[in-house]
Structures are given as C-alpha cells and as structure tokens.
Structure 1
Amino acid sequence: MYKKVERQALYVWVYSMKWKKKLQRYGTVYYSSPKMKYVMLYVNSSKASEVKKELVNKKYVKRVTVAHRKELDEHYVLNNKKSDELEE
C-alpha cells in the first residue's frame, strides 16, 4: 500500500549552478533557476531541519530558506458585491 510522505520545500541559493548535482543527495530537485542561482529542493518534513543545518554549513551555499506554502490557507471564498446584490 502506498504511504503518503509529507514533504517540505527548501530554497537553496548557491554561488554557482554547478553544485546543483550535489544537492540531489539531500532530496528531490524540483526546480532550478540559473539566472537567480537557486534550487528548489523537496525533502521529507521530518528531516527538513537537519538537512537545512547541513546545507547552511556547505561552502557552495549562500543561504537556505523554508517555503511557507504549508502555512497558507488554501480554502478561498469569493466575495463579490454584484453576486451578493443579485441574491437579495
């Protein structure tokens, strides 16, 4: 049976994109931007803090940030004034 694994996205800014291949050992490289020199990396949520600490200590990493997508509310309600007037 398939078991869902919670993942966390990390944004890793590097000095050179040649280090992108090295980042694959820490998680799944989902996106990379050669122009802005960052890599979006997915790791298991349980190991995210450990991976972040490891990456910060690497010479080729400028900084590491955690994506805040899990903190956002994805349930939206549209409040249209025109639709409210029509219902009344």
Structure 2
Amino acid sequence: MYKKVERQALYVWVYSLKWRKKLQRYGTIYYTSPKMKYVMLYVNSNRASEIKKELIAKNYVKRVALAHRKELDEHFVLKSNSTDEED
C-alpha cells in the first residue's frame, strides 16, 4: 500500500547554476531560477534539517531557506458583501 511521505521545500541559492546537477542527489528539483540563481528543492520532512546543514557546508551554496507553506492557513473564508446586508 502506498504511504504518503511529507515533503518540505528548500530554496537553495547558488553562485552558479552549473551546480544544479549536484543538488539532485539531495531531493527532487521542482524549479530553477536562472536570473536569481536559486533552486527549489523538495526533500523528505524528516531529513530537511540535516540536508539543510549539509548544503550550507558546500562551497557552491550561498544560503538555504525553508519554505513557509506549511505554516500558512489554507482554510479561507469568503467575506459577505456589505450590500447584501443592507438589502
């Protein structure tokens, strides 16, 4: 049976995008920005902190940031129009 694995997105800024291929061993590359020179990388949530430490130690990495999507509330409530209340 398939078991869902929680994933965490990491933003990795690099000095040159020629190192993109090296980043594939850490997780799944979802997006690459040639202009801003960063790679969006998905890794398993249980290994995210140790992978972040490993990437920071590499000499081709400027910085690493975790995505904040899990911290956002995804349940939205529609507000009613004020004109509906007046009628």
TM over 0.5: yes
1:11 counterpart SS class: strand
Amino acid at match of 2:79: N
| Structure-2-length-normalised TM-score | 0.94
Q: Distance in 1 between matches of 2:23 and 2:81?
A: 49
**Aligned-CA RMSD value:** 1.4
Q: Distance in 1 between matches of 2:11 and 2:65?
A: 5
Amino acid at match of 1:5: V
Count of residue pairs brought into register by the alignment: 87
Report what 2:12 is aligned to. 12
Unaligned 5+ runs, structure 2: none
Unaligned 5+ runs, structure 1: none
Cα pair distance change 1:40/1:83, threshold 3 Å: farther
Residue 64 (1) aligns with residue 68 (2): no
- Structure 1 outlier segments of 4+, above 4 Å: none
What does 1:77-88 align with in structure 2 at a 5 Å threshold?
A: 77-82=77-82, 84-85=84-85
Amino acid at match of 1:9: A
After TM superposition, give the deviation of residue 28 of structure 1 in Å.
Answer: 0.2
